[in-house]
Amino acid sequence: MILFPLTVRGAQTTRRGKVLVGPVDLDLAGVGATVVMGPNGSGKTTLLRLLHGAARLTHGRIDWACTQAEAHSAQAFVFQRPVMLRRSVLENLTYPLRLCGTSRSVAQFMAEDWAARVGLDAMLDRPATVLSGGEQQKLALARAMIIEPQLLFLDEPTAALDGRATREVEAVLRAALASGTRLILSTHDLGQARRLADEVLFLLHGQVLEHSAARKFFEAPATLQARAFLRGDIVE
Amino acid sequence: MKRILLSSALMVWASVASAQDVMRMAVTTSFHNSGLAEILLPAVAEDLGLEVQLIVVGTGQALKLGEAGDVDAILVHSRKAEEAFVEGGFGPHRREIMYNDFVVIGPAADAAQVGAAKTAAEALQAIATAEATFVSRGDDSGTHKKELSLWRAATLEPEQFGTWYNATGSGMGAALNTAAGMDAYILSDRASWLNFGNKGTLALLFAGDPVLFNQYAYLPVSVEKHAHVKGELAAKLEEWLTSPRAAELINGYTINGETLFTFNATN
Amino acid sequence: MGDLWAGLSEAFRLLVTLDSDLVEITLRSLQVTLTALAIGSAIALPLAAFLAVRRFRWRRSVIAVLNALMGLPPVVVGLAVYVLLSRSGPFGVLGLLFTPSAMIIAQVIIIVPLIASVAHQSLRDLWSEYHDLLISMNVTQSQKIRTLLWDARRALLTASLAGFGRAIGEVGAIMIVGGNIEHATRVLTTAIALETGRGDFALALGLGFVLIGLAITVNLCIHWLGRTEQEGRW
């Protein structure tokens, strides 16, 4: 099924009367990597969750080109702090496949393949909980991608990783982009944003201040706050 | 290893199976403590091919079990209660089987001088006067009812006794335990006393007054009131219990050379 | 002290000679308690998982009631089961009173709240850990429950063990509903009560040591079966 274009109109999510994100109007097409940026507390995580359906929409609409249910099944989400199932690395990878009814042998084959792609093939039988932070995040990434989602959300995926792990993760993401996966990720790392983004969403206080092509955003940001942010100033 | 554990688990489940006739009889703790059941039941199994499952409770509960139809017969020693049972239609009749006697047990030092009494009433009177520690069954059993009737015969009212009188609400063995622990006086049936393993400083102080005789009776449970009751098996057992064979076993049962029960069933 | 030594030597003698009564009583103790454990766990564990993942209006009250039921005095449960199973009671026609089945029923009622409460706590913790991930993966309710039950199996085993401990040492309820009938419903705990009541402390102590040994052995077996201590394995 086709997910895109994604149309968001007046989307808002509130909690106890306080508006966390919104109102937001967006049109997203089906190619490339969208990077969501903004200072801490600007609502990046909430926006991602809202689009994924993990946060409750209290006003407005989010319309995919297909039904909500179909859209959800073609997406995956990588959290900032990876959630590890208390099982082995292999079993973590086969879990989403087994949920869909994939046979054990096929699932195992695919799991081994993806483990190799992220460099975890030596640790297939280790319990996932004893992996290092970087290894766990790579595992979470592989687990998200093993079901071949059309759209992958990533919430600050390399925030807790060292340089080497970051490089490895970005390599995987680039490969995914090359094979047609749509990425929407949030990041603090300006360098990473420059490396990966095709378009940028700049958020402040839960609102989208700027939405433009990456190059245009980095070279000539339209708003004062975006400029301040790119300079490295504290933006309130 | 898993297999061994699994198969032994299966064996545990398979371990209970029996092809005999089975009936349930409620008996009093006094009867059970005497050890006579250990002689009679195997003989019953051998002669009649009948397994008798004994539920050992106080007389009060035994009668209740009979009324509710949870057992097929009862063997108790409390005439008034038995007659009420039959009167109430819970059982067709009562059949006397045998009797033993009650004895007064107490500390060997016998401060209340129970040993010098001529009758049971005198003995209890002595205890009350001395306010010596006394343990009562307090559980509405045959023994308990006997004890109460003896106090009343001595024109004493147990309700008004002071803290020297302790009603434990337990079976004969447990009550004897308590008496041994408190160095107290207690009324017990002779059989339970002889069989009791923890005598401590207690001794048999008074016996022989005819009023202390204790009649056991067998009451089958009414099949009219409870259709599921095994009336035929209960009748078979009754016949056996009143037969010369039972007489021989009962009269011949001794503990340390002393006979406990006297068979007195009539046909 | 003399009683203690007498008890030890009596226990040793009973074991070494594989006294037939002892073996019969022990097997029956195991039969009753392990059956109650199996049935109790089959009820309590899915219940605990259901309470952990499903939001419904009276969820908090149900959990509170479950916790409170842990404090239910076992002997009162025995009395209630007795009244229900007696011939003059509502379930009398089943003829279960004074059989091992009645004892199993009483023990199940006693241990289900315990197992469910302990399991629920662990499952709730695990659920809060897995929540985001599983929701994102769109799992169905039953997949949710199965995943939680499997991944928390060590904690669930502990919950079951707690239930076993409660059941194997229970005496009041099974005395009432079982009647402590020789060769039919006598188990280790009721036999100990009986022998103590008879004043035969040596035998009672002997049985007591056997009971302790039994409890420890079954605990070790369950651990071994779960292979929970094996390195690197859950």
pLDDT mean over B106-119: 89
- The whole-chain average pLDDT of chain B stands at 87
- pLDDT at residue B35, rounded to an integer: 85
Per-residue pLDDT tens over the stretch B169-178: 888 888 888 8
- pLDDT at residue C81, rounded to an integer: 95
Q: Which fold has domain C27-188?
A: MetI-like fold (1.10.3720)
Q: What is the distance between the alpha carbons of residues B43 and B62, in angstroms, rounded to a whole number? A: 23
B contact test, residue of C87, C186, C192, C214 with most B CBs within 10 A:
C87
Q: What does the block give as tokens for B43?
A: 């003989």
Distance from CA of B81 to the nearest CA of C (A): 20
Residue C230 has pLDDT above 60, yes or no: no
The owner of tokens 């009420």 is B84
Which residue in A73, A83, A126 is closest to C133 by CB distance?
A: A83
Instruction: Provide the pLDDT confidence category of residue A194 given band limits of 50, 70 and 90.
Output: very high
- pLDDT > 70: percent of chain A: 100
Instruction: Provide the pLDDT confidence category of residue B220 given band limits of 50, 70 and 90.
Output: very high
Residue B18 has pLDDT above 80, yes or no: no
Residue C234 has pLDDT above 50, yes or no: no
- pLDDT at residue C57, rounded to an integer: 87
Which residue in C138, C152, C234 is closest to A73 by CB distance?
A: C138
CB contact under 8 A, A99 and C143: yes
- pLDDT at residue C232, rounded to an integer: 43
- pLDDT at residue C1, rounded to an integer: 63
Residue A106 has pLDDT above 90, yes or no: yes
Q: Which residues of B touch C225 (CB under 8 A)?
A: 2, 5
Q: Which residues of C touch A96 (CB under 8 A)?
A: 137
Residue C231 has pLDDT above 60, yes or no: no
CB contact under 8 A, B69 and C196: no
Which residue in A54, A77, A86 is closest to C234 by CB distance?
A: A86
Q: What three-state secondary structure class fits A95?
A: helix
DSSP state, C42? H
- pLDDT at residue A162, rounded to an integer: 87
- pLDDT at residue C112, rounded to an integer: 96
DSSP B166-204: EE----HHHHHHHHHHHT-EEEEEHHHHHH-S--TTEEE
Phi, psi at A200, each rounded to 5°: -125, 140
Instruction: Provide the pLDDT confidence category of residue C203 given band limits of 50, 70 and 90.
Output: confident
Q: What does the block give as tokens for B95?
A: 């059949």
Q: What is the distance between the alpha carbons of residues A66 and C70, in angstroms, rounded to a whole number? A: 50
- The whole-chain average pLDDT of chain C stands at 87
CB contact under 8 A, C98 and B55: yes
Residue C86 has pLDDT above 80, yes or no: yes
CB contact under 8 A, A83 and C151: no
Residue A72 has pLDDT above 50, yes or no: yes
The listed range with the strongest mean pLDDT (A3-17, B69-83, B184-198) is: B69-83
Per-residue pLDDT tens over the stretch C143-187: 999 999 999 988 898 888 889 988 999 999 999 999 888 888 999
Specify the higher pLDDT residue, B16 or C55: C55
Q: What is the distance between the alpha carbons of residues B82 and B36, in angstroms, rounded to a whole number? A: 21
CATH class of B101-212: alpha beta
pLDDT mean over C228-233: 48
The half-sphere exposure of B261 on its side-chain side, counting CA atoms within 13 A, is: 31
CATH 3.40.190.10-classified regions of chain B? 21-99+215-263, 101-212
Q: Which fold has domain A6-81+150-162+181-231?
A: Rossmann fold (3.40.50)
CB contact under 8 A, A83 and C137: no
Phi, psi at C231, each rounded to 5°: -60, 130
- pLDDT at residue B15, rounded to an integer: 45
CATH 3.40.190.10 fits B21-99+215-263, yes or no: yes
Is the torsion defined by CA of B52, B55, B56, B57 positive or negative? negative
ipTM score assigned to the predicted complex: 0.87
Extents of the domains making up chain C: 27-188
